[in-house]
Structure 1
Amino acid sequence: MLPASGQQPGEQVLLLEELPQLPDVGISVPENDFLVALKWYSRGDYEAAWRTLEPLAQEGDARSQWLLGTLYQHGLGLAPSAQDAAIWYERAAQQGVAEAQEALAFLYATGSGLSRNIPRAFEWYEKAARQGNPQAQFALAFLLAATLENDDVSEEVHSWYRQAAEQGHLLAQYNLATLYINEPQWRNETEAARWYESAARQGYCRAQYNLALLYSQGLGIERSEERALYWYERAAQQGEPAAMNNLGAIYANGFYGVEKDLVKAYVYFHRAAAAAHERARINRNALLEQLESEALLDAQRILQQHDHVSCR
């Protein structure tokens, strides 16, 4: 019998900065002026957006300052400049724009355009988080957890993850679920299953794999081989190595009511091994001894048709 992967859900992860969604804040200039810039931004004409935003930002409009900082940070329509982004984010942040506060905190946390300053990152993340910004809530929880002096996850970490998760933040949902599985003082398998499923339905491959594990063991959710198989397959489609290894074991042994299929098992093991999954490499090599030459050729043909994807 070829073994599946270990059955412990994954570690917490940190989301990198992405292009922001537009804030809902007050403005101090005629609305049409900002909406013109917003129109260009939405259409991808960032140079035109910059030409419209720059005078508005100079006049002190907070939203324009924030969006101008976004153009500079990501090099949209002009040369990227973290230093200029920091200047405009700071001005908008001081006027209370939560998205600018979160973006400024990110620059302090990563040392982009500013000297790295974790206390300042905390300060701005907290300001944005208290305004309900889910990315700031997530990042604040993550940084707080990383700076704990002991292994106990605080109520504050749990609260910020929870607030971001309830707003649909994918990785907050994942980390909250992982907290409910891994942290003894917060152990709650039902809540873990709930939040893994929320993240899984948003397409997050690691959540899909962990949800499959819970379904396979009946932890916090009614045991269902059918649902476990479904989520293993969804995760494997996105290149999740442990999910591919477990599917290999399922098809190699005929588990979960599936027909035994050594070719399919080899394909899953090989793809997982190519993603540096050590157990899958061992399983693939063991399976080689059972495959006839024609079956191995079939497996190789299938592998040639697969694009390499990686679960992130």
Structure 2
Amino acid sequence: MNWRVALLLSALLCGAARQVAASDQWRTAHLRGECESALTEARAAADAGSAEALLQLSDWHFFGTCLDKDDIASARFAMQAAQGGLPRAQAVVGQLYASGLGVERDDAEARRWYLLAADAGDAEAMLLLARHLEADTSNPVAADVALAWANRSAEAGYAPAFVHLAQLYSGGGAQTDYAKAAQWLDRSIESGYKDNGVWVAYSWACLNLGRYDDVLRAADQVPKEAAEYKAAQINRAHALLLNGQIGNAREVYAANLTLRGEDEFRRILRDDFAELRRSGRAHPAMARIEKLFAIGADPQ
């Protein structure tokens, strides 16, 4: 099963408590219709050398609030804030170079800025650096270095790092360890970071561990209107099947076929059954379900 919890580009500010309070006022000014006064305050602070104010101006240009949407201007202000030594801004500049937003895409520059922010203790930058390094298939040690940075981010309490580490252990490959995946997802849920993608990932890890009641509880957390609902429901069907509730499972599978369409449903069912068999979760009823829905059994 492939799943990913997206990490969104943000321009959150960090600093002393007094600076954060001021920045919060700046960041939400457009919601209160106070852009003019907030801009005056932010520009004055930026002119005085405030990296937080510079990053806020970047944020407004990036999202098109209080200032016109302008990726180039956003990148310019973010760069000034980053050069001023603000780790949060350095992480943002790394993201801009990685994506080519407002600047020419440059992976080496992205990595350099991520590393500066990560070395300064920014937990999100640590995870961004880890993900960036993972993509470097030409470097034989990149994966190990990436894992070290992801762990540092998690140790700093950054909840998306919990999810990222769980993803690494849930891929169905050589690194697969569903017990570790479930442990990291437990930490994510305990920390309050438990969106629909997390619940689907947790249900999948528990499924491969034989924790069928936990699968059902996790699947129940995903509402019908969510895009992740069909993934949660097929995990529910798997749990019912493996727990011997074959009739109930068949009904949920049939509903999932309607949600997905025949081609997608058959592909997902085939892939899921193959991974469950590799996890030692084979069940005689799988063959019956495959025959019912015209799925070729995995030769392994």
- Give TM-score, length-normalised by structure 1: 0.71
User: Aligned letter for 1:214?
Assistant: A
Provide closer, same or farther for how the CA distance between residues 35 and 139 of structure 1 changes in structure 2, counting only shifts above 3 A. closer
Q: Does 1:194 align with 2:212?
A: no
How far did 1:115 drift? 1.1
Measured after TM superposition, the shift of residue 204 of structure 1 is 3.7
1:129 aligned residue: 118
Alignment partners' CA distance in 1, 2:185 and 2:254: 28
Aligned counterpart, 1:267: 255
* Residue 116 of structure 1: aligned partner: 105
Which residue, out of 204, 215, 220, partners 2:206?
Answer: 215
State the 1:209 CA deviation.
2.7
CA RMSD of aligned residues (A): 3.6
Match of 2:35 in 1: 47
- Tell me the distance in 2 between the aligned counterparts of 1:55 and 1:136: 28
| Corresponding letter in the other structure for 1:75 | G
Q: Distance in 1 between matches of 2:123 and 2:267?
A: 37
CA contact (8 A) 1:180 1:187 kept: yes
Whether the 8 Å CA contact 1:216–1:228 is kept in 2: the answer is yes
Distance 2:239 2:89 in 1: 48
Unaligned runs of 5+ in 2: 271-288, 294-300
Percent of matched pairs sharing the same residue: 21
Aligned twin of 2:48 = 59
Q: How do 1:1-312 residues align onto structure 2 when only pairs under 5 Å count?
A: 9-10=1-2, 15-18=7-10, 20-25=11-16, 38-43=24-29, 44-45=31-32, 47-48=35-36, 49-149=38-138, 154-182=143-171, 184=174, 188-200=177-189, 202-218=193-209, 223-235=210-222, 237=224, 238-240=226-228, 241-248=230-237, 255=243, 260=248, 265-273=253-261, 276-279=264-267
Change (3 A) 1:181 1:260: closer
CA distance, structure 2, for counterparts of residue 12 and residue 153 of structure 1: 20
Deviation at 1:173, TM superposition (A): 1.8
Deviations 1:92-136 (A, max 9, x none): 111111111111111111111111111111111111111222221
CA gap of 1:145–1:264, structure 2 versus 1, over 3 A, is closer
Q: Is the 8 A contact 1:215 1:228 kept in 2?
A: yes
What is the CA–CA distance in structure 2 between the aligned matches of 1:37 and 1:173, rounded to whole Å?
A: 28
Judged with a 3 Å threshold, the aligned counterparts in structure 2 of structure 1 residues 265 and 50 are, in CA distance, closer, same or farther, namely same
232-241 vs 119-128, which moves further: 232-241
Separation in structure 1 between the aligned mates of residue 220 and residue 290 of structure 2, nearest angstrom: 18
Relative to structure 1, the CA distance from residue 180 to residue 249 in structure 2 (aligned partners, 3 Å threshold; closer, same or farther) is closer
The answer on whether the counterparts of 2:13 and 2:23 sit within 8 Å (CA) in structure 1 is no
Deviation (angstroms), 1:267: 2.9
Q: Is the 8 A contact 1:199 1:208 kept in 2?
A: no
Per-residue Cα deviation, 1:180-207 (whole angstroms, up to 9, x for no partner): 35564x6654332211333456224344
For structure 1, the residue ranges without an aligned partner over 5 or more in a row are: 1-8, 288-312
Distance in 1 between the 2:42 and 2:63 partners? Answer: 15
The whole-number CA distance in structure 2 between the counterparts of 1:13 and 1:151 is 26
CA distance in 2, matches of 1:229, 1:155: 34
Deviations 1:10-53 (CA, angstroms, capped at 9, x unpaired): 366652313x3330259xxxx69x85564243353462322220
- Are the equivalent residues in 1 in contact too, given 2:207–2:235 (CA < 8 A)? no
Letter in 2 for 1:266: A
Moved over 6 A (4+): 280-285
Q: Tell me by how many angstroms 1:144 deviates.
A: 0.6
Cα distance, 1:69 vs. partner?
Answer: 1.2
How many residue pairs align between the two structures? 268
Structure 1 248/115 Cα, relative in aligned 2: closer, same or farther at 3 Å? same
